[in-house]
Amino acid sequence: MAVLSLRCLLISLSLWIIAIFRPVWADESVQQLISLLGQNQSIEAHFTQYILDSSGSRLQETKGYMVLARPGRFYWQTEPPFSQVLVSDGSTMWLYDQDLEQVMVQPLDSRTAHTPALLLSGDSHQISQHFEVYKQDTSGDIIQFVLQPKLGTESLYQLLRLHFKAGQLQQMQLVDAMEQKTSLYFHQLKTNIVITPGTFEFQIPEDVDVIDAVPAA
């Protein structure tokens, strides 16, 4: 079940009804979030991921490493015991599950467009097209945004939170339809770095099953 939850997060890694957040100054909140995300053309970080059930009990803890670059390129790797690699070159996405010896290949379609990795590496100006954005009360140099998929948007997640401190992303939280929560804590974060050539080019290992969902040309 834990492995399945992680796979759903990575493939869809996409988006409690918001009663306490008021849509006042929504446009201002969107513009501020776009500004914060848009200031970084590339991001490198290590992360710790926690998956909690609806009662708050911890189901899984995973550590990993990521590199993101606009537009739509990312390398996202989780460590054992849930070893998986998620790579995108901006048009195609590869998910390599080492335990299953399987690689899934699919285009970056409307469903995968709401994954955390692509949200951080994609076109930040499209946020207002897919999400209602609310800003919570801030404290000092900490700002929290809440993103809720708009009606008609296909997403496995009903809510997403972004926490910034001193203008840098510190944490992401996601809540799915079953109210299972995923929290990502970023550390050793570097921005606007030089990307090593080939980072977003995935080479399929030998002797693995390949599930190719990319439409034929």
Annotated domain spans of the chain: 2-14+24-212
Q: How many beta carbons lie within 10 A of that of residue 40, not counting itself? A: 21
Looking at domain 2-14+24-212, its CATH superfamily turns out to be Lipoprotein localisation LolA/LolB/LppX (2.50.20.10)
Query: What is the rounded CA–CA span in Å between residue 54 and residue 67?
Result: 30
Residue 70 has pLDDT above 80, yes or no: yes
Residues 12 and 112 sit within 8 Å (Cβ to Cβ) = yes
Beta bridge partners of 76: 66, 86
Note the pLDDT tens digit of each residue in 159-198. 889 999 988 899 999 888 888 899 999 999 999 999 998 9
Residue 64 has pLDDT above 50, yes or no: yes
Query: What separation in angstroms does the CA of 158 have from each of 18, 140, 178?
Result: 10, 28, 9
Residues 118 and 112 sit within 8 Å (Cβ to Cβ) = yes
Which residue bears the tokens 């009662």? 55
Residues 122 and 136 sit within 8 Å (Cβ to Cβ) = no
Both tokens assigned to 8? 């759903």
The pTM score is 0.78
Query: What separation in angstroms does the CA of 107 have from each of 1, 15, 91, 137, 215?
Result: 26, 18, 6, 38, 8
The single-letter code of the amino acid at 27 is: D
